[in-house]
Amino acid sequence: MPGRLLRRMTYQEQNKRMWDERVPIHVAGEFYDVAGWKAGRCSLQPFEAAELGSVEDKRLVHLQCHFGMDTLSWARRGAQVTGLDFSEPAIAAASKLAGEASLHARFVCADVFDAPAALGQRYDVVYTGIGALIWLHDIRRWAGVVRELLAPGGCLYLVECHPLTDVFEARSLTAQHDYFHDPAGTVWDEPGTYADQTAVTEANVSVEFRHPISDVLSALIEQGLVLELFHEHDHTAFARWPFMERHADGTFRLPAGIPRLPLLYSLRARLPA
């Protein structure tokens, strides 16, 4: 209708539109290597199983699970897994992948902030993997969701990109952005995807939020969780800068001669029984 004002999309709607479009690109692309995973490759980082410990017969929920490959890697280790994501195409792809791998899993489509109501149960492990927290505007509210989902004695295990890396521009180690949280977020309008920068895409606007590690830790402590483990790692799962080198274990590291930076961090925090 002429003159009618169009409703502005929320940041969640913008991000969901972007992720919905990228699911089939990721499933079919070389970056995730779904064929290799089906043949037995583990998609988790080399240190994750050791840091979390045995998940045999434990109830594990993976928040913001994308198309479920990491979720199902925990299922291969004996966990009773549930994956949650806000993208319908992602959940459909995850369910399909579970069937193809003959793994039992429950996948639920819901916003992470709605997870307690959508899932209706508590878990021994709440797991969140690389690249999840930047899509959330309120880290304290997220920590409250984690607390609601944990059974007494259960733990959160988190692996995430180190927020220090977001300070630098995309192609060099030149500081460009603040380290500290900006409630308004950063709006990006970029084609392609980290998994395939040449991919043709239309939904290219997204909103990201930086969360300093101190904000994450403080939010969890406020919810009564007890920190058991915190590590920083000098490698990551993708080429954050074009000059990074891929190693035989699949990790990406800065070349020799460049001072090492923390690229990932991991933590385990437990809700007292």
Which pLDDT band holds residue 197 (cuts at 50, 70, 90)? confident
Confidence (pLDDT) at 3? 40
Instruction: Quote the mean pLDDT of the chain.
Output: 94
Q: What is the pLDDT of residues 256-269, one digit of tens each?
A: 999 999 999 999 99
Which pLDDT band holds residue 7 (cuts at 50, 70, 90)? low
Residue 184: is its pLDDT beyond 90? Answer: no
Confidence (pLDDT) at 249? 87
Residue 4: is its pLDDT beyond 50? Answer: no
Task: Say if CB 208 and CB 134 are below 8 A apart.
Answer: yes
Q: What is the pLDDT of residues 94-131, one digit of tens each?
A: 999 999 999 999 999 999 999 999 999 999 999 999 99
Residue 5: is its pLDDT beyond 50? Answer: no
Confidence (pLDDT) at 22? 96
Mean pLDDT of 191-204: 91
Mean pLDDT of 26-50: 95
Mean pLDDT of 77-82: 98
CB-based burial label for 17 (10 Å; 0-12, 13-18, 19+): middle
Mean pLDDT of 28-32: 93
Q: What is the pLDDT of residues 230-239, one digit of tens each?
A: 999 999 998 9
Comparing CA positions, the residue from 55, 59, 68 lying closest to residue 26 is 68
Mean pLDDT of 197-219: 94
Mean pLDDT of 2-29: 83
**% of residues, the chain, pLDDT over 70:** 97
Residue 6: is its pLDDT beyond 60? Answer: no
> Which among 88-92, 179-183, 245-249 has the top mean pLDDT?
88-92
Mean pLDDT of 196-213: 93
> Between residues 250 and 164, which one has the greater pLDDT?
164
Residue 74: is its pLDDT beyond 70? Answer: yes
Q: What is the spatial distance between Cα 207 and Cα 86, in angstroms, rounded to a whole number? A: 15
Confidence (pLDDT) at 232? 98
pTM of the model as a whole: 0.94
